[in-house]
Structure 1
Amino acid sequence: MKNLKSLAIALFLAAGVSVNAQTKKIDVKASTINWVGKKVTGQHSGTVNFKDGAVVLKGTKLVGGTFTVDMTSLTATDLTGEYQGKLNGHLKADDFFGTDKFPTSTLVIKKIGSKAKNVYAVTADLTIKGITKPVNFDLAVNGNTATTTFKVDRTKYDIKYNSASIFSAIGDKAIDDEFELAVALKF
């Protein structure tokens, strides 16, 4: 009887938590991901699109989220024509993101801490090319929007092409190991 009573209390408390949490799907058309990749001789920038995603809120407080990115939508926006096509093809090839084998990447929020009013310190699992590694970033939530900027070390996801940390004699052909993502969510 005591175990039954404990189970009933646990179920009641769990139900109360789930009732208070609200999952809000992101608007994939209005949400954006902009990227910047730097190299010794300059940089390239572009976009990649969300496939789907959602944030989980308890009242106005962020408590979770899961996002899927359509890696096949990866495109450079700083180039046009033939040069854009060449760069896009190279970024989608196996020595970068291998989008034929890995058409999506995911980010799953694992831990959230409050940093300031409406700003959260987030730890998430980022999966690129089937490899999952933790990433940390600050996420600002304001109404039905959230924004963040953070860097990703591509070498942790087996993207080693022209990495100076791996190929020390690469010289001016080196590409930075980290690329930057600027994310704006609408939900």
Structure 2
Amino acid sequence: MKNLKSIALALVVALATVSVSAQTKKIDAAKSSINWLGKKVTGQHNGTVNFKEGALVFKGKKVVGGNFTVDMNSLTATDLQGEYQGKLNGHLKADDFFGTDKFPTAKLVFKKIATKAANVFAVTADLTIKGITKPVTFDLTTTANSATAKFNVDRTKYDIKYGSGSFFSNIGDKAINDEFELDVTLKF
């Protein structure tokens, strides 16, 4: 009987010390998406930008990390076609906006993650655009093989001030909102 108690106690201790190891889930960059929306006084433009790579790190069903690299040269407007699309794409890739010749990638690295509900996490991450890193916060919702997030980015924090009413007076109806929206879907 004493031997049985010792075995049971050893089993309880062994089970209590087993930790769930982290599992990294790489995204399928071709199936994952980033849709952007930028607004101005007279309207808006929307489009896409592609992931180069990325991964979420899980312990069980809990997100404990993540990092992503975005191919800024893939930036394109989807609300225009032909010449006007080419002009907008060129301007967005120029130094007035994202300067993709000098800064071909943007990065997002998770720094702090808190559980809000089952499969919903409050994330604080470092976002690097044009070599400038600033924190962003957003909610991330996960399923077994996907995750989604939607958040705004203040472009002026990344030295993208073109057409900003916050920095230039007398631009009237040519003003472009400082924030743009990102709608992200990750597929594993």
Matches of 2:41 and 2:49, distance apart in 1: 23
Match of 1:12 in 2: none
Match of 1:150 in 2: 151
Match of 1:171 in 2: 172
Aligned CA distance change for structure 1 residues 134 and 173 (closer, same or farther; 3 Å): same
Aligned CA distance change for structure 1 residues 18 and 154 (closer, same or farther; 3 Å): farther
Q: Which sections of structure 2, spanning at least 5 residues, go unmatched?
A: 1-16
Matches of 2:176 and 2:18, distance apart in 1: 46
Q: How does 1:34-53 map to 2 (within 5 A)?
A: 34-53=35-54
Match of 1:140 in 2: 141
TM-score between both structures, scaled by the size of structure 1: 0.90
Shift of 1:18: 8.6
Aligned CA distance change for structure 1 residues 17 and 90 (closer, same or farther; 3 Å): farther
More moved, 149-158 vs 164-173: 164-173
Counterpart contact for 2:20–2:59, Cα < 8 Å: no
Shift of 1:59: 1.1
Aligned CA distance change for structure 1 residues 84 and 118 (closer, same or farther; 3 Å): same
Match of 2:161 in 1: 160
Q: List structure 1 segments (4+ residues) > 4 angstroms apart after TM superposition.
A: 16-19
Percent identity reads 77
Matches of 1:29 and 1:103, distance apart in 2: 18
1:181 to 2:182 alignment = yes
Larger radius of gyration: 2
Matches of 1:141 and 1:46, distance apart in 2: 24
Q: Which sections of structure 1, spanning at least 5 residues, go unmatched?
A: 1-15
Q: How does 1:22-61 map to 2 (within 5 A)?
A: 22-61=23-62
Aligned CA distance change for structure 1 residues 68 and 18 (closer, same or farther; 3 Å): farther
Aligned CA distance change for structure 1 residues 91 and 61 (closer, same or farther; 3 Å): same
